[in-house]
Amino acid sequence: MTTVFHNPRCSKSRAAVELLISRGIEFDVVEYLETPPSAKELGKIVKMLNIDPAQLVRTGEKLFKEMNLGDRELSDAQWIAILASNPTLIERPIVVYDGKAAVGRPLENIVEILDQ
C-alpha cells in the first residue's frame, strides 16, 4: 500500500500526488494536519526514512521557534512525541511505498524509492 502524508496547501505535496498519479500508482492520502500520524506511526516512518526524528522537523516553522526547539537537547522519543502532538512541524510530503519512505524535498527522493 502506498500512502502520501499530504498538505494540499503545499506545492511540493501537490507535486508528489501528481507524480504518483502520473505513474498510475494507487495511493491513500492522509491529510496529516487533519489526521496526524500517531507516535507509533511516526516511529515506523522515521525507521523507513533511515533518519533521526529531529531530521523530520520543519525548523523554519513559527511554532518551532515559539517552542524553543532549536535550543533543546531532545531524545528521539521526545522528538516523535512533539511531532505527533504538533503535526505542523512534520516535514512534507512523505510518501510510503513498498516498505520504503521518502520526504519529497526534493521530489527526486520519491522518484528514487519508486524506481528501486
Question: Under a CB-based contact definition with an 8 Å cutoff, are residues 4 and 20 in contact?
Answer: yes
What CATH code is carried by the domain that includes residue 91? 3.40.30.10
| Domain assignment of residue 45, given as a range | 3-115
Q: In terms of pTM, does the model score above 0.85? A: yes
Count how many domains the chain has.
Answer: 1
HEC assignment per residue over 69-99: HHHCCCCHHHHHHHHHHCHHHECCCEEEECC
**Nearest-angstrom CA–CA distance, 31 and 45:** 15
Of the listed 1, 3, 6, 10, which one is catalytic?
A: 10
Q: pLDDT tens, 52-109?
A: 999 999 999 999 999 999 988 999 999 999 999 999 999 999 999 999 999 999 999 9
10 part of the active site:
yes
H or E, element range at 14: helix 11-22
Cell 487533519 maps to which residue? 34
